[in-house]
Chains A and B, each alone.
Chain A
Amino acid sequence: MTQDFPALGLILLFPALGVLFNLFGGRGAGRGAVNLVGPGVIFAAFVVALWGFIKLLAMPPGAALVCSLWPWIAAGPFHVELGLRLDALSAVMTLVVTGVGALIHLYSAGYMADDADYARYFTYLNLFALSMLVLVLADNLLEMFIGWEGVGLCSYLLIAFWFDNPMYARNGRKAFIVNRVGDLGFLLGIFTIVAALGAHGVWTLDFVALERHADLLQPVAVCAALLLFFGATGKSAQIPLYVWLPDAMVGPTPVSALIHAATMVTAGVYMIVRMNFLYTQAPVAMDVVATVGALTAFFAATIAIVQTDIKRVLAYSTISQIGYMMLGVGVGAFAAGIFHLMTHAFFKGLLFLCAGSVIHAMQGEQDMRQMGALRKKLPITYATMLMATLAISAVPPFAGYFSKDLILEGAYASGHVWLWLIGVITAGITSFYMFRLIFMTFWGESRVTPDKLHHLHESPAVMTIPLVVLAIFSLIGGWVGLPDWLLWGDAFKRFLAPIVSRPVVGSFVMAAAHPAAARLSLSIILSIVALAAGLIGIFLAWMLYLRYPGAPARIAARASAIYEVLAEKYYVDQIYDLLISRPLFWISGPVLSDGLDRDVIDGFVNGAGAAVEEGGATARKAATGNVRDYAFVYLAGALAVAGFYVYMVVR
C-alpha cells in the first residue's frame, strides 16, 4: 500500500536550497554561513528521512510513502512522471546517504578550512547529495537515470576540484568519460525495456508498473540486464570500467569518502536490487554479475597489497568490496548485498575520513612509506581507523563480519562454490592489506621527515566527531543482520523481503535444501572458514610489517616480475590506452578530421567551387569577341537543324 507523504520532497528541497545558497551567496556570506548551510541542509534532509523511516516501520510490510513531483514526459502513450518513493529499500539507502553524507559534510568543514574555494566545494557537495537522493528516491527508471548522470557530473566536478593541476583535471575527465561509456549501456538497457514493454502496449518506466509487468520482459531480460549491468560497472567501478576510481583519489579526501566509498559507487548495486524482478528472470545475467563481482574483488585486492599511497589502497579496497556486493546480488542474496552496502558505507567512509585526518596531519603527504608510529600523535584517528579496519576485515562483532558472512554464505548455498572460494581468499587478502596499512601508518618506526614532525597533531573536533560516530556504527551497524540462529536473526533481510520478493538465496534456500541441523552446522562452518581467512591475513600482515620489517622488500625483490605486474595494476591502463584511446584518437584525427572532413568534405565543397572556376575559365574562352566565330556557331546550329530535316526526309 502506498501513502502520500509530501514531506519527501523536502529531502530534495533542502540540498537544493543548499546548492543555491552556496552557489550564489556562498562567497559573500563567508565561511561561517557556508559551514552552517552546507552540512546543515543534509542534516535536515536526514531528519526528514528518519521521520519517513519511522512512519514506514509503523506501516505493514511492503508499504511505501510516495510523493509525486511533476509530470515530465507525455509523448503519446509514453508517460514519465517525476515522483519520489520511500519504501524499505530506498529508506535504507536514503538514511545511509543523508546520514553518512551529513557527517562527511561536517568533516569537510574542518578539512577544507584552509581552502579558498570553500563555497564552490559545498555547492558541488550539496549538488551531489541532491543527485544521489534523486537517484535513490526515484520511482521510475528514467528519473533514476537523471540522478545517475547527476552524480557522475558531480563526481567529475569534485575530482577535478583543484583543476589548476592538469593531472587532476585529466583524472576528472577520465572519470567522467569512463562513466559515460557505462551510461551508454544503461541507456540501451532502458531502451530495451521500453521496446519490450511497448510491444505489448505498456508504456511506462515506473518501478511498480515494471514489476507488475515483469513477465513481459522475459524475452529481453538477459540483454537488458547485461546492458544495465554494464552501466553499473562504470558507476560502481567494476571490471572493465573501474579504471577511473584509483585516479579519482586526487580529489579532496572527504569527496573520496562520500562519493567514491559510501554512496555513488554503490548506485550500481542499488540499481540491480531495484530491478531484481528483471535480474531474477535472467539467471545468465546474474551469473555474469556474480562472476564479475568476485573476480573484481580478487583482482583489486591483489593490486592493493603493493600500493604505497594510502588513498589508493582504500580505492582498490572499495573496488574490491563493491565486487563483494555484486557477488551478493549476483547469487540472489539481494538483501545481503544491500546490507554490505550499508556497512561498507560506515567503515569505508570512516577509513577515508581517517586517512584524510592522517593526510591533514602530515600536511598533504599520502605515501605510507613516509609514515609510521603515528598512533601516539593521532590517538582518535588511530582508534577509529582500527575499528574500521577490523570491520572491513570481517572480525566479529564488527559490522563487516555479518554482511560479508551473509554474502559468502549465499554464494555457497546457491551452488557457486568457486565464487565462494574466491570470496574467501579475497577476504584473507583484504585483511592483509588493510592491516598492512595500519601497521605501516600507525605502528613500526617513524619514517616521518623532521619538517613534518612538529605539525603532527590530532585533527580538530569538527573532524573527529564524525570519525567517532562512524566508528560506533562500524561496530553496531551489522547487528541488524545477524545469522538466523543468533538472537533476533536477520532483521534486515526481513525488512527488505517485500522488495526482493523473488526467490532469495541464503538462509531461506538453505532452509529448503538442507535439514535443520545440517543447516545450522553448515552456516557455522562457513562463518568459521571466513573468519579464519581474515585472521590469517592479519597474522601475515603482522609478520611482514611488524615482526620482520625487511621481509616485504626481500619478497618483492625475489618475485620482482609479479611485483611489477601488481604495481603497474596489471597494465590495464596501458592496455586501454593502446586498444581504445589511441585508435579512437586515430579515428578522430587523421581519419575523420583530416581525412574525411578536410579532404573529402571540404575538398568536395572547395572542389565544387574550383570546378566552377575552372569551368568558367574554360568556358570564357568561347567568347573570342570575333564575330566570325559566333557566326560559325550559328552555322553549326543551322546545319544541325537542317540535318534533322534531312533525317526526317530520309526516313
Chain B
Amino acid sequence: MPPLVFAFLAALAIIASLGVILQRNPVHCVLSFALALTDIGVLFMGLGAVTVGFLQIVVYVGAIMVLFLFVIWLLNTQADALKPRGNLGIKFAGAIGAAVLAAELFVTFSSYPRMREIRTMPPDFGSIASVARMLFSDYLVAFEVTSLLLLASIVGAIALARTTTGAASPALPVTGGGDAPAGAPGASIASGAPARESA
C-alpha cells in the first residue's frame, strides 16, 4: 500500500489505542478500541489478507466489542471517579517499561536484513479460497481442536456467569446513566457526570 495511506492508518491506530488506555469512561475505551480494530482490519486488507481483514471486522468488532459493551452495561460500570489514587509508582514504571519494550522490539526487528524488500503476491493470495484450502489441509487438526475450544469456552462462560436462584444480580438500570441502584454497596460509583478520574 502506498506509504501515505499507511502513515495515515498507522497514526489513526496509535491514536485510537492511546484512547483505549487513557480514557476514563470504559464505554469510550471500547469504542476507541473498535476504531483501532477496524483500522487494523484495513491494514490487513492492505497487506493482501482480505479474508482475515473482513473476519477481523466482523468477528472482533462486531461480536467481541459488543460483548464487552454488554458486560459493561451489565455491571453498570461507570467512570472511576472519586476513587483513591492508585499506586502511582507502578503506573509510572509500567509506562516506562512499555516504552522500553517498544524500543527493544524496534531494535530487534530493524536489525533483520531484507525487511525492506517488497514483493508481489499471486492474485489469490489472501482470498477465501486459499485460506480455506490451508485450513482444511495443513491446519486441519488445529481447526478441529479450535472448535472444541469454542465449545469449552461456551460451556465455561455459561457456567461461570449464571446465577443461582436468589442470588443478587445487579439491577438493570431503568434509565441510562443516573444514580447507582439502591442496595448495590460500595464499588460502583454513581455519578452523573464523569469526573476526571485519577488513573
Residues of A within 8 A of B (CB): 628-629, 631-632, 635-636, 638-639, 642-643, 645-646, 649-650
The residues of A that contact B98 with a CB separation of less than 8 Å are 635
B94 CB contact (under 8 Å) in A635, A642, A643, A649? A635
Is the pair A642, B97 in contact by a Cβ cutoff of 8 Å? no
B104 CB contact (under 8 Å) in A628, A631, A646? A646
Is the pair B97, A636 in contact by a Cβ cutoff of 8 Å? yes
Contact with A along B95-109 (1 / 0, CB 8 A): 001101100110110
Closest residue on chain A to residue B106 by CB atoms: A646
Chain B residues 29-51 with CB under 8 Å of chain A are none
| Chain B interface, DSSP helix/strand/loop, else mixed | helix
The residues of B that contact A642 with a CB separation of less than 8 Å are 101, 104-105, 108
**Chain A CB within 8 A of B187 CB:** no
Is the pair A649, B107 in contact by a Cβ cutoff of 8 Å? yes
The residues of B that contact A638 with a CB separation of less than 8 Å are 101
Closest residue on chain A to residue B94 by CB atoms: A632
The residues of B that contact A645 with a CB separation of less than 8 Å are 104, 108
Question: How far apart sit A385 and B93, CA to CA, in the bound complex (Å)?
Answer: 106
Given contacts A639-B97, A649-B111, contact A632 B90 (CB under 8 A): yes
Closest residue on chain B to residue A643 by CB atoms: B104
17 further interface pairs, Cβ-Cβ under 8 Å (given A645-B104, A646-B108): A628-B90, A629-B90, A631-B94, A632-B90, A632-B93, A632-B97, A635-B94, A638-B101, A639-B97, A639-B100, A639-B101, A639-B104, A642-B105, A643-B104, A649-B107, A649-B111, A650-B107
Question: How far apart sit A642 and B97, CA to CA, in the bound complex (Å)?
Answer: 12
Chain B residues 169-185 with CB under 8 Å of chain A are none
Question: How far apart sit A631 and B105, CA to CA, in the bound complex (Å)?
Answer: 19
Question: How far apart sit A629 and B105, CA to CA, in the bound complex (Å)?
Answer: 23
Question: How far apart sit A629 and B94, CA to CA, in the bound complex (Å)?
Answer: 10
The residues of A that contact B108 with a CB separation of less than 8 Å are 642, 645-646, 649
Q: How many residues of B contact A (CB 8 A)?
A: 13
B97 CB contact (under 8 Å) in A635, A649, A650? A635
The residues of A that contact B111 with a CB separation of less than 8 Å are 649
Q: What 7 A-B pairs come out closest when comparing CB atoms? A: A642-B104, A649-B111, A645-B108, A635-B97, A646-B107, A646-B104, A639-B101
The residues of B that contact A629 with a CB separation of less than 8 Å are 90
Question: How far apart sit A636 and B97, CA to CA, in the bound complex (Å)?
Answer: 7
Question: How far apart sit A616 and B127, CA to CA, in the bound complex (Å)?
Answer: 58
Question: How far apart sit A638 and B102, CA to CA, in the bound complex (Å)?
Answer: 11
* Shortest CB distance B22–A (Å): 16
The residues of B that contact A636 with a CB separation of less than 8 Å are 97
Residue contacts A-B, CB under 8 angstroms, 29 given: A628-B90, A628-B94, A629-B90, A632-B90, A632-B94, A632-B97, A635-B94, A635-B97, A635-B98, A635-B101, A636-B97, A638-B101, A639-B97, A639-B100, A639-B101, A639-B104, A642-B101, A642-B104, A642-B105, A642-B108, A643-B104, A645-B104, A645-B108, A646-B107, A646-B108, A649-B107, A649-B108, A649-B111, A650-B107
* Shortest CB distance A579–B (Å): 68
The residues of A that contact B100 with a CB separation of less than 8 Å are 639
Question: How far apart sit A193 and B55, CA to CA, in the bound complex (Å)?
Answer: 98
Chain A CB count within 10 A is highest, among B93, B100, B104, B108, for B104
The residues of B that contact A631 with a CB separation of less than 8 Å are 94
Question: How far apart sit A119 and B24, CA to CA, in the bound complex (Å)?
Answer: 103
Question: How far apart sit A627 and B73, CA to CA, in the bound complex (Å)?
Answer: 24
